[in-house]
Structure 1
Amino acid sequence: MELRSNFPSTSALAVTRRAQWVSLGISPDDLDRPKVAIVNTSNDLAACFAHLDPIVAVLKEELRGLGLLPFEVRTAAPSDFITSAGRGGRYILPSRDLIANDIETMVEGAQLDAMICLSSCDKTTPGHLMAAGRLNIPTVVVPCGYQHSGLADGDGGDVEEIFFEAAKQSVGGAIDPALIDLADTAIRGPGVCAGLATANSMHMCAEAMGMAVAGSAPVRANSDRMWDGVRRAARALAGMIEQDIRPRQIITAGSITNAARLMLAVGGSVNTIKHLQAVAEESGVEVDVWETYRTLGRETPTLCSIRPNGPYLTEDLEDAGGAATVLRELLPLLDGDQLTVEGVTLAERLADAPRADGTIVRTLDEPASTTPAIVVLRGSLAGEGAVAKRPIPDPGPRTFRGPARVFHSREEGVEAIADGKIKPGDVAIIRGIGLVGGPAMGMISAFVFALDARDLGESVAVITDGQTSGLVNHGIVIGEVSPEAATGGPLGLVEDGDLIDIDLATGTVDLLVEPDVLAGRTPFEPRSDVDTHGLLDQYRAVVRPLACGAVLCSRAPGLPRQEVTR
């Protein structure tokens, strides 16, 4: 591989870089080596990132031993449980693209040759994959593991359980002191939250796509398996540099479809849809991920029932072989010819994966369920798509028809619940909080918890152009409706009393109002009282629709724009 980092030794750039790097203790003899960015997302705000700095130290030693010259760089890194406090959690989704931009600034600006990315909490993995596709230099993603919890020890809860219970109790006022005590022992080690939420889901997606080494997700943080994955990732990166293997050879329509198939088989986070679409956009890949989930969901058996979808722990899934075992079972449905960071095909590396045990990971012949846990819907209310999450197996019901009750914030909706204005059979609409209207997709999980607190969770359907937690999987809750109300979507024209029809089996969500009636209604006007100065204003101005993954760029560098077709 020709090294872009090596400028003519007598050029001004080379001499200046030599002055900087020699002053840092780098030998002049090493300056011609391949230069590798170790992308670290460490900070002191959450347990998700607490163990990453020691990984950097090990990687530096490994990479130097392989003849490479490592440089640590850092990026923004949010935790949904911590950095969701400001402005209604609206910094969370924009941080994904901020991470990709941070990487571009540091790695492209310095003209480094390759990168190895330490992926932890929810938005770090998609941000890393987006940057890999954008920069197209040899890259390996390292899933850095999930945290040990009281639930796994059998004498407490985990952070997700604490979050949901606290949210429900807060609807009625004070939180039970016993729950506060439980919170003190819920997290017993570093790493991401232990359930099959966005972080573990995206770690598994990276492996399915071939951008992480085999058998690296899910993995206990700081375990022997994690450290083995770290060292194998360093060796894989050295091989990519030697063979000049680039991310756009790995990130293809086939590998993205493989990741989608895996997510459907394990009932992963709904957030993986927009993140995989964003990775495709940044990599110049023409694939409609929303339609991929919608189509494959009807033909992909669900092989696992992992919390929060079912009774088993992520630890159980790891011990049963993790993503590699599920992928091996799915291989007849996958594109096994896709290239991976090890330089072999997906099928070749799955040959050594453990076989399904038939309990934690079920077989294609005897799945846990034949109805999808991730349901993508389209229809007259969501022409570009919407998504619902269901438990495994799904007890139903899978259809719902009722009159709309329209709200413009989660707070307005929660107040209506408290006042008894939402009745069984209603379809609660919370609109104007999408990518542009929010901006950055407001979170309505508190509204769903308030419904549960009043025993309305199963008898009231919810539809929003905002988002819910990827862990909400009961009742009929449909999020991320696109096009959103603020950009002229039909959700903005819904009035109280309009009939809404939902069918999860056919994947449809329809507004039962005649087109000529809708045409006579006043266009939706977004709220003007939302504080959005700074980053959020910038985001609102440039974000593209969910059909394009909510990315901020118009095209991948050096590639023609490929429009999403329906």
Structure 2
Amino acid sequence: MKNNLRSNFEEGSTRWAVRRAQWIAMGINEADFHKPKIAIINSSSGLSVCYQHLDAFSKLAQEAVREAGGLAFEVNTIAPSDFVTSAGKKARYLMPTRDLMVNDIEVMIEGAVLDGMILLSSCDKTTPAHLMAAARLNIPSIVVPCGYQLGGACNGRNVDIEEVYKGVGTLLTGKMTLDEMKDWTRCAIKGPGVCAGLATANSMHCMAEALGMALPQTTPVRAGSERLKEIVRSAGFKILELVEQNVCPRDILTKEAFENAVRVAVSIGCSVNTVRHLTAISVEAGLDIDMIKMFEDESLKLSQITQIRPNGPDRIEDFDKAGGTNAVLHQLKTLLNTAVLTVENKTLAAVLERPAEIDEAIIHTMQNPFRKEPGLAIIRGSIAPSGAIVKLSGIDVANRIFSGPAKVYEDEDLAMQELAKGNIIKGDIVVLRMMGPVGGPGTVFACSFMAALSGAGLADTVAVVTDGELSGLNKGITIGQVMPEAACGGPLAIIENGDTVLIDLDKRKIDLLISEEEFSNRMNNWKPKARKLENNWLKFYADNVMPIERGAVFGRRD
């Protein structure tokens, strides 16, 4: 194999000589120079508990690669955290970090010409970035989702980060004290890893396995656990096999693999953000897929077979013990494309031949679902001609049709202030716009308002329609990722205060109830607001980000 490795440079060449000198100075044994060179992608950071455990697992992965006959190199990247990196500029930096990480990985791996990657994935943007990088570079790669954190208890009540998140609204409306909130923050997180619940991080961990890019039976998993250690070691050995046989991500990331992932996402009620991330991964894989249409089609066929928080009472650790993503794949087996390849270097059919222990109290069959509709669905109409996303699993089944006056905000802080003053009331439809990838620039959080609305007890009686970023923890009548976004001239931009908006979940419709003539006049007269951006990363992002319909990856907006 050594003669076929792209990392083995011609002896006597400049790049061979200078690298050789560097490695000798680093204490690398000359006998190892011709071995497969594997990058351990580590987004470790002291800023967030999401990444607190990764350094130890990076060392474990490096040891396993060396035992398997490879040469391991740790490659550190940026480390975005949805609850830390969101603090500045109203979270505008957060979404752009995903694509910054993709380019970060490309520069390091392609610049150094390494042979394979193990990607240690943690928080919300990390897993999609890793999958995007693997798809783009197309060298043997394994994604290792590095696990969820545990919540705690406070005064006899289970408290995790979701409860803290929603609690801000409870605090704003005077229904809890600041001291009570402080107590919650002391109890909410017990150990490293990503947010408890089926929010974006755990959703994307599950998507990595559903796509075939994570080893089977590995998601979700508790961060720091002995099982995670075994998974990391297994990846260290398996990556050498993939390099030996030249099994690359684009062999795995096929249209059929994405269909499988979408079926898992809609049947378990994954985060709404899985739509944009799966879209971006498919773009990086060079596939011409209408991911919105794929979600739309599959949501008409499937039902919800789990009720993991925030979709119901079951916890992520319950889902883990019940069999996790592997169990879901077994329950959906007859609906899946099982000929697809996985990083196990076996087809999904071969993977699913292994018997699975499934707790069907937690993971139902498709014949006996928790709800006879999917967890995620696409909704369209005059406000969202290219589609929008609704998390049906987070909405009371009784709230099927919702109509009310629009209250329009282009700043989440203003909406939060109005909520605190009691100016947002039952029956309102709150429009949060100019918050998409282009409008931000960098997608602005709308999810903090939604969480506050939930904490204020209004999530089931006030609807939110937005092109901003939602959290997988959000519940309530929320129509997210409205496309086209307002800044690109989507109809969301022309809604005025007091306009009536109609949401019909049964018909999957969202419409602005004004005359066709008035609608046409507003659209024809709308112009984007002039703005002057600082010469920084966000301006670069604004100049290069593609529409959210294309996953908000970098490219030309023609």
**Which TM class, normalised by the smaller chain length?**
over 0.9
Aligned counterpart, 2:298 = 296
Q: Which residue of 2 aligns with 1:89?
A: 91
1:316-331, aligned counterparts within 5 Å?
A: 316-331=318-333
The alignment of Structure 1 onto Structure 2 pairs a total of residues equal to 554
- Give, in whole Å, the separation in 2 of the partners of 1:261 and 1:532: 42
Q: 2:480 is aligned with what amino acid?
A: G
The 2-side partners of 1:503 and 1:422 are apart by 21
Q: Does 1:13 align with 2:15?
A: yes
Which residue does 1:558 correspond to in 2? none
Bigger shift: residues 271-280 or 297-306: 297-306
- 2:498 counterpart residue number: 497
1:525 corresponds to 2:518: no
Alignment of 1:300-449 (within 5 A): 300-391=302-393, 394-418=396-420, 421-449=423-451
1:217 equivalent to 2:201? Answer no
**TM-score, length-normalised on structure 1?**
0.93
Cα distance in 2 between the residues matched to 1:420 and 1:57: 52
| Equivalent residues of 2:168, 2:455 under 8 A apart | no
Can you list the C-alpha shifts for 1:116-173, whole angstroms capped at 9, x where unaligned? 1000111110000000000000000011111122159986411221222134314549
For residue 353 of structure 1, report the CA deviation from its aligned partner: 4.5
Q: CA deviation at 1:413?
A: 2.4
Structure 2 residue matching 1:413: 3-state secondary structure: helix
1:205 pairs, out of 204, 207, 211, with: 207
Deviations along 1:235-294, whole A, 9 cap, x unmatched?
A: 221111111111001011111111111111211111111000000000001212212112
Secondary structure of 1:391's partner? Answer: helix
The residue type equivalent to 2:220 in the other structure is P
Instruction: Answer with 502-511 or 258-267: which moved more.
Output: 502-511
Question: 1:356 touches 1:363 (CA, 8 Å); kept in 2?
Answer: no
In structure 2, what is the equivalent of residue 513 of structure 1? 514
Q: Could you tell me which amino acid in structure 1 is paired with residue 466 of structure 2?
A: T
Q: Is the 8 A contact 1:369 1:392 kept in 2?
A: no
Q: How does 1:179-190 map to 2 (within 5 A)?
A: 179-190=181-192
> Which amino acid is the alignment partner of residue 526 of structure 2?
P
Partner of 2:112 in structure 1?
110
Q: CA offset at residue 488 of structure 1?
A: 1.0
| Structure 2 letter corresponding to 1:10 | G
Q: Which moved more, 1:23-32 or 1:354-363?
A: 354-363
Q: CA RMSD in A?
A: 2.2
Describe the SS at the equivalent of 1:337: coil
Compute the displacement of 1:221 (Å): 1.2
Partner Cα distance (2:242, 2:217) in 1: 18
Alignment of 1:249-288 (within 5 A): 249-288=251-290
The Cα of 1:65 is off from its aligned counterpart by 1.3
Secondary structure of residue in 1 paired with 2:437? coil
Partner of 2:239 in structure 1? 237
Q: Deviations over 1:407-451 (max 9, x none)?
A: 221223234445554443332212212111111121123333454
Q: Which moved more, 1:67-76 or 1:171-180?
A: 171-180
Residue identity opposite 1:504 in structure 2: L
> What is the CA–CA distance in structure 2 between the aligned matches of 1:188 and 1:424, rounded to whole Å?
36
Q: CA–CA distance in 2 between the matches of 1:154 and 1:70?
A: 47
SS at match of 2:386: strand
Larger mean Cα displacement after TM superposition, 369-378 or 538-547: 369-378
Q: Is the 8 A contact 2:170 2:176 kept in 1?
A: no
Name the aligned partner's letter for residue 461 of structure 1: A
What percent identity do the matched residue pairs reach? 44
TM-score (norm 2): 0.94
Measure, in 1, the Cα distance between the counterparts of 2:530 and 2:158.
42
After superposition, what is the alpha-carbon deviation per residue over 1:26-70, rounded to whole angstroms, capped at 9, x for unaligned? 111111111111000101011111111111111111111111111
Residue type matched to 1:340 in 2?
A: T
Q: Which moved more, 1:118-127 or 1:345-354?
A: 345-354
Is the Cα contact below 8 Å between 1:368 and 1:392 reproduced in 2?
no
Aligned 8 A contact 1:37 1:112 in 2: yes
Structure 1 residues 455 and 73, CA gap change in structure 2 (3 angstroms): closer
Cα 1:31–1:327, aligned 2, differ >3 Å: closer, same or farther?
A: same
- CA drift at 1:510: 1.6
Q: Which amino acid letter does the alignment assign opposite residue 369 of structure 1?
A: R
CA contact (8 A) 1:328 1:355 kept: no
Q: 1:126 aligns with which of 125, 128, 146?
A: 128
- Distance of 1:62 and 1:418 partners within structure 2: 53
Offset from partner CA, 1:527-552 (integer Å, 9 cap, x none): 748x7551111111111011100101
Q: Aligned partners of 1:88, 1:527: CA distance in 2, in Å?
A: 20
CA spacing shift, 1:65–1:419, aligned 2, 3 Å: closer
Question: Are the aligned partners of 1:432 and 1:526 in contact in 2 as well (CA < 8 Å)?
Answer: no
Change in Cα spacing, 1:416 to 1:58, as seen in structure 2 (3 Å) is closer
The separation in 1 between residues aligned to 2:505 and 2:40, in whole angstroms, is: 43
Deviation at 1:460, TM superposition (A): 2.3
User: Which amino acid counterpart does residue 138 of structure 1 have in structure 2?
Assistant: P
Q: Name 1:544's counterpart in structure 2.
A: 546
What residue in structure 2 maps to residue 480 of structure 1?
A: 481
Task: Please tell me the residue identity of whatever aligns with 1:180.
Answer: K
Q: Of residues 450, 456, 463 in structure 2, which corresponds to 1:461?
A: 463
Q: CA deviation at 1:519?
A: 2.9
Residues 152 and 507 of structure 1, relative CA distance in 2, 3 Å threshold: farther
Q: Secondary structure at the match of 2:379?
A: strand
Cα distance, 1:554 vs structure 2? 5.3
Q: Decide whether the 8 Å contact of 1:218 with 1:323 is kept in 2.
A: yes
Distance 1:435 1:280, change over 3 A: same
CA contact 2:405–2:500 (8 Å) conserved in 1:
yes
**Which amino acid is 2:553 matched to?**
V
Map Cα deviations across residues 490-541 of structure 1 (whole Å, 9 max, x no partner). 1111223333221222222122333332332331434748x75511111111
**Residue matched to 1:49:** 51
SS of equivalent to 2:300: coil
Partner of 1:191: 193
Which residue number corresponds to residue 560 of structure 1?
Answer: none
> CA contact under 8 A between 1:437 and 1:526: conserved in structure 2?
no
Unaligned runs of 5+ in 1: 556-562
